[in-house]
Amino acid sequence: MYDIAIIGGGIIGLTAAYECQQRFHDKKIIILEKEAELALHQTGNNSGVIHSGIYYKPGSLKATNCRNGIKKLLDFCDNNDIPYELCGKLIVATTDDEIPVLNNLYERGLANGLTDLKLLDASECKEIEPHVFAIKGIHSPSTGIIDYRTVCSKIAQKIVDNGGKVKFNSKVINIRQKNKNNIIATRADEIESELVINCAGLYSDRVAQFTQNNIDIKIIPFRGEYYKIKEEKKYLVKNLIYPVPDPKFPFLGVHFTRRIDGAIEAGPNAVLAFAREGYKKSDIKFKDLTEIFSYPAFWKLGKQYWKIGSSEMLRSFSKTLFVNALQKLIPEITKQDITTGGSGVRAQALTNGGELLDDFRIVRNGKIIHVLNTPSPAATSAFAIAENIVTHLDT
């Protein structure tokens, strides 16, 4: 019998467990993870960026949790010798019509409390990134890089040291209520817990449906594919170079990222994945696909985004088109300079109304808390999101 069972060993499940231990010292806590390792999905396949909080609507959960989350993340890293680098990032406008969007972004960043942002002209951008093409830019010195898998291993170690349990190969397949407690069925056994926190990422909606059939969102998987810059061309990128994002689209556009291990990546794009854990183009799961295509909201979304969706899809199949997008930022980069890299799949909630849910969503249903939408910058924000989750336990 446990006091709190957490489903999912990504950064949200782990920080939630850690925060529960910090707040309630005497509670018995277990994390149930379906894989044999931690952070194998979104957390372990992301860009490894510590976002500074420029992009998000002031007052939103994304904005507040990102700003609070960074401080907590960096404190955790400082106290546990986890490497990170606040290397700074440049967002560049490459056409005149992007300038008003860039200016709005700057204002948004200021409204979110980023006092260190600087608006730069073309030559100032080149001082920071000598190979970039920009007509105007924003420099965010407090953006950083980190390996979130290292963060997760350290959190898990602390949870176990504090008496918590992490159980691998434990896919949750059902939850039912008995005597005011939750009985959680996994493939191997059943576990009883007073409270449950659902942090199942790409499967959070399906886990929620075990006890609730009125969930008003569905998780749509969007794959992000990366290329790697060849060793001899790494000099083209010093740190992080981003385009001005399309304000109508929740993803940031293909960008250049220096990883904490020294690799330079280009990407990710955003294409509809044909399986929730569809890391390759050839990964197709009939159940996942029919679920997406039979969801009326998906077709509403398709109507709105068919143009951008099809161009992302084309770019996924054509290295030339991918390189064209990269050349907007670094004109001298060529097809020969990049090799195929990894990929990650984003869990993006789509509402029944056909909207891509922009903000984080955490809901409580009796003795279960569901974390239903934690896309980027949730890795950066995880320690603050965990505090929010625990606040739901108090109510």
Which residue ranges make up the site for ligand FAD (CB under 6 A)? 7-13, 32-35, 39-43, 45-49, 51, 171-172, 199-203, 207, 224, 268, 344-346, 374-380
Looking at beta carbons only, is 239 or 376 nearer to ligand FAD? Answer: 376
Looking at beta carbons only, is 106 or 226 nearer to ligand FAD? Answer: 226
Question: Nearest approach, Cβ of 381 to ligand FAD (angstroms)?
Answer: 7
Parallel/antiparallel/unpaired status of strands 255-258 and 172-178: unpaired
Question: Nearest approach, Cβ of 212 to ligand FAD (angstroms)?
Answer: 15
CA distance 105 to 35: 39
CA distance 311 to 191: 46
Question: Nearest approach, Cβ of 382 to ligand FAD (angstroms)?
Answer: 7
3 state SS of 369: strand
Question: Nearest approach, Cβ of 43 to ligand FAD (angstroms)?
Answer: 3
Question: Nearest approach, Cβ of 174 to ligand FAD (angstroms)?
Answer: 10
Looking at beta carbons only, is 136 or 149 nearer to ligand FAD? Answer: 149
DSSP annotation of 260 = T
CA distances from 237 to 129, 194, 392 (A): 7, 50, 43
CA distance 179 to 95: 63
Looking at beta carbons only, is 137 or 224 nearer to ligand FAD? Answer: 224
Looking at beta carbons only, is 171 or 233 nearer to ligand FAD? Answer: 171
Parallel/antiparallel/unpaired status of strands 118-121 and 240-243: unpaired
Question: Nearest approach, Cβ of 342 to ligand FAD (angstroms)?
Answer: 9
Looking at beta carbons only, is 94 or 257 nearer to ligand FAD? Answer: 257
Question: Nearest approach, Cβ of 232 to ligand FAD (angstroms)?
Answer: 26
User: Is the Cβ–Cβ distance between 10 and 39 less than 8 Å?
Assistant: yes
Question: Nearest approach, Cβ of 4 to ligand FAD (angstroms)?
Answer: 15
Looking at beta carbons only, is 136 or 265 nearer to ligand FAD? Answer: 265
Looking at beta carbons only, is 12 or 329 nearer to ligand FAD? Answer: 12
- Complete DSSP assignment for 211-230: T-S---EEEEEEEEEEEEE-
Omega before 268 within 30 of 0, i.e. cis: yes
CA distance 123 to 150: 37
Question: Nearest approach, Cβ of 197 to ligand FAD (angstroms)?
Answer: 11
Two structure tokens written together for 174: 């059902």
φ, ψ of residue 51 to 5 degrees: the values are -75, 140
User: Is the Cβ–Cβ distance between 38 and 169 less than 8 Å?
Assistant: no
By C-alpha distance, which of 231, 232, 242 is closest to 266? 242
Q: How deeply is 86 buried, as exposed, middle or buried, from its count of CB atoms within 10 A (0-12, 13-18, 19+)?
A: middle
Side chain identity, residue 311? S
Looking at beta carbons only, is 13 or 137 nearer to ligand FAD? Answer: 13
Looking at beta carbons only, is 99 or 308 nearer to ligand FAD? Answer: 308
Two structure tokens written together for 73: 């993340």
CA distance 367 to 380: 27
Question: Nearest approach, Cβ of 149 to ligand FAD (angstroms)?
Answer: 10
